[in-house]
Amino acid sequence: MRIRVFETEDQLNKAAALFHGGQLQRKPESVLGLATGSTPVGVYRELVELHVRGLVSFQEAITFNLDEYAGLSKHHPQSYFTYMNQHLYRRVDLRPENIHIPNGEASDLQDECERYDRQLKNAGQIDLQILGLGHNGHIGFNEPDLTLAAGTHLVGLHEDTRKANARFFSSPGEVPALAITMGIAPILQAKTVLLLVRGEDKAAIVSRALAGPITTQCPASLLQTHPNLIVMLDTGAARELV
């Protein structure tokens, strides 16, 4: 585990984007695992800037998103497809056929989970997986539980997760109760995992995830077992690390 702490959000964003860009320069056909939420927004903005400057191309890359809300149209303002399209997809040279994100509108959600797993298997090992960190330790939408699912699955979102995401919706009641999420196996099997966390409100869970016991009650703690985990934090998120 390598931990880097940055004084400002801007420094963190630039460092993460350069790390991501370096992966694409070394291996243009990289399989990239992508995350959503507020934390990666600045990273995607910096990646787009690197692309505009001609330093990074996504033309040969293959992307897989961690998750998508169940029951939302891909064109809903708060779908993760819309998020990715706004912040990355349409701003770089990704080929549409190389973009993968679960279909929250699928008529058979279990079949959709199985289809997504087949796509992941066909693409091979993820080269670089970007992760954020939920207040309860979830990664993707792998929520704390007695056991964790290895493959893509339908998950009922914890109430605290729904409350945390309510700021993106008009009211808390609009936050979907279900989501499709990539399972824990392809995340832990990624060649490199880049965990990005900012904000003092995440300090306690950062400490629990990186220095606490490894337990499915804090899914992010399983990252302690990963052979190539890079952690980028701002000073607020790092506050409780010894």
Which residue numbers are catalytic?
A: 67, 136, 138, 143
Cite the beta strand spans of 185-240 per DSSP E.
192-197, 229-234
Torsion angle in degrees (nearest 10) through CA of 64, 68, 72, 76 = -60
| Residue 156: both structure tokens together | 């009922």
| Residue 133: both structure tokens together | 């960190």
DSSP-derived secondary structure for 7-27: SSHHHHHHHHHHHHHHHHHH-
Is residue 49 within a helix (H) or strand (E), and if so which, with residue range?
Answer: helix 41-52
| Residue 55: both structure tokens together | 């330093």
| Residue 192: both structure tokens together | 């490199």
Angle between helices 80-87 and 41-52 (to 10 degrees): 40
Q: DSSP secondary-structure letter at 54?
A: T
Strand order in the sheet with 153-156: 67-69, 178-181, 153-156
- How many CA atoms within 13 Å lie on the side-chain side of 69? 24
Terminal CA-to-CA distance of the chain, rounded, Å? 14
Comparing CA positions, the residue from 204, 201, 222 lying closest to residue 213 is 222
